[in-house]
Structures are given as C-alpha cells and as structure tokens.
Amino acid sequence: MGRAPCCDKANVKKGPWSPEEDTKLKSYIEQHGTGGNWIALPQKIGLKRCGKSCRLRWLNYLRPNIKHGGFSEEEDNIICSLYISIGSRWSIIAAQLPGRTDNDIKNYWNTRLKKKLLGNKQRKDKQARRGTSITTSSNSSTGLLIKQEITKRGTITNTNTSGILLNSNISMVPCADYNIISIDNQNPYWPELPVLTPSPYSNDGQPCYNDHSSIRRLLIKLGGRFTDDHDHDEYDVVGSTTGPHIPPPPALPAPALCNSAALFAQQAQYNTDNYGFVPQMLEHGQSSSSTSQLAELDHQESCIYNSVPDAQVLGGLEFLYGEGSTGNISKIDGIVNNSTTTTTHGTAEMGWGAEMSSMVYSTTAPNFVSEYQSAQESYMS
C-alpha cells in the first residue's frame, strides 16, 4: 500500500502551463494570496492542477522579481562556493541569490556549472598525469584565481581567493601573505575567519544571528537536535553517539564559528522569516578583505583560539568539524577568505562539507558524496 496521492491524479492536468492557467493563478494569488493551502487553491480558482503544481509554478515562474537565465560570474562564484561548502542545498543557495529559484540554480548547476568544473578537473587531472608541474591560472569560468603547485612528494599547495580548505590533520604556520597549513600537527587552528559583525540584520531592528542560539536553531532545522532541548546543561547532538559531552558554550562572537555555520545561521532566519533575505554576509566578506582588517581578524582569532578550550569555542558545534573536535579539525573556511592550504595528494579529503553532508544530508541520493567530492576536488584544483 503506497502513499495516498496528494490529489486526484485522474482529474488533474499535467505538463506545461498555458498562459490562461498562468493568468488565473497569478491574478488569484495577487488578489487573495495562497490562503495557506496550496492543495485547495486550484479548486478555488477552477484550475485542474495539483496544488503542488500550482505552488511550483508560482514559486519558480509566476512570483514577482524572478530572474531567469543570464547567470553572472559573481553568481557562478557564489553557487560554486556554496555548493562546495554545503552541497546540493539548492534552497539555501537560492536564498543567497535574489530573484533566483532553487530549481533554476539546480538546473544551472546540473547543466552548466558542474560540467565547467568537472571539465576543468579532467583537464587538470590530465595535466597532473603528464608530470609534476607548477601552474598559476585564472579560472575564467568561475572567476577564481587559482595557484597550484604539485611538489615532488605529491603534495598540493592551493591558493585560491575562495579560501576553501579541505583537509584533515592541519595546523597553521605563520606566513607573511598567507596562512600556511601544515600536515599532521595536532593543534587545531583555523585560518582567517570572518567577523560577521555588525550583523546584516542589526540595523533594521531584526535580531542578530551570530549567536549560539540562532545557530542552534538552524542546526535543529537542518536535522540536528540537542539533548538540551529540555535541559540547557547539555550540548550534545543526537545522532553523534560518540560525540563528546560538551559544557555550555561561553558567549563568544561569531568568529568562533566557521563561515558556513554563520551562513547556515543566516539561512535559518531566512527560512524562518520566509522571504526578504539580503546576502550581506557575502558583501561583508568581500569588504573585509583589506590587509588591515585581515590582520585584525587574525588577531581576534588567535585570541579566541588560544585562550578558549576548543570544545568551548565550538560550543556544541564541534560535530561540524568531525570527530574529536579537540584533535584534528577539518573544515571548509568558507567563501570569503584568502588562504593557502597544503594537502596530501590522494588522501581522503573529507573536509567540513563532506562530513556535514554525510550527517545532515543522510537522506540524499547515494551518489551525492562522490559527485560532491568530485566537485570539491575540481573546485580546489
């Protein structure tokens, strides 16, 4: 016995929408709204359509201020960066691109961006197979500046403006221009993290989301759960059976969290508030890239990371960074920083994104990880 259909399949029209149907739906919603019930909507209007179909048509096509096609380089970059960071969470990615729908972005990714990236990867793979090389290139398709060095020992050093870090067993070594990550050091250190203050929302009376409770709400929404839903003395993510028992976090500013977590936090509020999100975090990230600001970031971060035990810094979010948060930490730095990473070629590069994906996105298609990782590798190479 299968699931009951959401509508009478025999009496609903399928396939492309006619202009008359569009007009009916659009004018009704503009006058009356959806009434909070998509299933009942087509009957009210006199459309022989499934309610879900109406909803999809409205959201993806009829809704005001929808943009179709003509993705800019900047949008490409955002999509690529977010895909690498969070995987195929199209609705979240769409929230960062005003006027774009998740369906549009998904189609764009599947038909173009993925091929671009994988095409680049294949070219790079061929190059790598031909022998050791040092290359510096500007990726015209994504607008990313990429510098790659393949050393004799098979170690790759990547410098890219997106600042994505995919590695385990990493730590920082001071460097004049970049943060150099060395391998197999047990001291976790995260490269430049953005200061997300002032909050994009703090100026208009909206609450700030750079706090633990917001991120917590977000993680819950994304599928995590805290045992302190009833008792605020524990921060323990259900599902992480081996996870450490973490004491309540200190009141730390957003830099204690990685970019992606902050992104998630903003998205959580976006989801809560439905619409109206302005992706100022990205703008902020761009605007905070000056040398002095980065130096200030470095200072703040070193203070945070050096003075607070790791578990407290993570404040219950340590699962984002993999098992044993006080040991080797893997993460993706996000989309706003410059960083240099050194990775061991050929090792399992399951960084923050992949771990997050495997946990939060456990219901996605089986081939998700391989494609996702492939895209990550491609993006990195």
Partner DNA sequence: AATGATTCCAACCGCCATCGT
Partner DNA sequence: TACGATGGCGGTTGGAATCAT
Instruction: Report the b/e string of 333-363 with b at 16+ CB within 10 A.
Output: bbbbbbbbbbbbeeeebbbbbbbbbebbbee
Number of shown-chain residues binding DNA (CB under 7 A) = 51
Distance CA 338, CA 360 (A): 27
**Which pair of tokens denotes residue 236?**
């323990």
Distance CA 209, CA 124 (A): 40
Place of tokens 């038909």: 111
189 touching DNA, by CB under 7 A = no
Q: Which is nearer to DNA, 189 or 368 (CB)?
A: 368
Mutual angle of helices 73-86 and 352-360, in 10-degree steps: 70
Smallest distance from the beta carbon of 67 to DNA, in angstroms?
Answer: 11
Candidate ranges 46-54, 160-168, 230-238, 275-283; the one touching DNA (CB under 7 A): 46-54
Q: Tell me the residue type at 176.
A: A
Q: Which is nearer to DNA, 350 or 375 (CB)?
A: 375
Q: Of 1, 10, 15, 19, which one interacts with DNA (CB under 7 A)?
A: 15
111 touching DNA, by CB under 7 A = yes
The DSSP H or E segment spanning 126 is helix 114-130
Q: Which is nearer to DNA, 53 or 214 (CB)?
A: 53
- SS3 for 150? strand
127 touching DNA, by CB under 7 A = no
Q: Of 6, 173, 238, 348, which one interacts with DNA (CB under 7 A)?
A: 6
Cα-atom radius of gyration of the chain, to the nearest Å? 23
Place of tokens 């003509």: 70
**Which pair of tokens denotes residue 162?**
């997106």
Smallest distance from the beta carbon of 108 to DNA, in angstroms?
Answer: 6
Distance CA 97, CA 350 (A): 27
Candidate ranges 185-193, 206-214, 219-227, 312-320; the one touching DNA (CB under 7 A): 219-227
Smallest distance from the beta carbon of 301 to DNA, in angstroms?
Answer: 30
> Measuring CA to CA, how many Å separate 230 from each of 226, 227, 235, 236, 243?
9, 7, 11, 12, 19
**What binding mask, one character per residue, do residues 232-271 give for DNA by CB under 7 A, x or -?**
---------------------------------------x
Residue 342, phi then psi, degrees to nearest 5 = -120, 120
230 touching DNA, by CB under 7 A = no
Distance CA 175, CA 180 (A): 6
48 touching DNA, by CB under 7 A = no
All residues at 6 or more sequence positions from 184 whose CB lies less than 8 Å from its CB, including other chains: 169
Smallest distance from the beta carbon of 296 to DNA, in angstroms?
Answer: 34
39 touching DNA, by CB under 7 A = yes
**What binding mask, one character per residue, do residues 327-366 give for DNA by CB under 7 A, x or -?**
------------------------------------xxx-
Q: Which is nearer to DNA, 36 or 276 (CB)?
A: 36
**Which pair of tokens denotes residue 353?**
């994104």
Q: Which is nearer to DNA, 38 or 235 (CB)?
A: 38
Task: Calculate the CA 148 to chain-centre distance.
Answer: 24
Q: Of 72, 110, 133, 213, which one interacts with DNA (CB under 7 A)?
A: 110
106 touching DNA, by CB under 7 A = yes
**What binding mask, one character per residue, do residues 60-99 give for DNA by CB under 7 A, x or -?**
xx------xx------------------xxxxx-------
The residues of the shown chain that bind DNA, judged by CB under 7 A, are: 3-4, 6, 9, 13-17, 34, 36-40, 49-53, 55-57, 60-61, 68-69, 88-92, 102-104, 106-108, 110-112, 115, 220-221, 223, 271, 363-365, 367-368
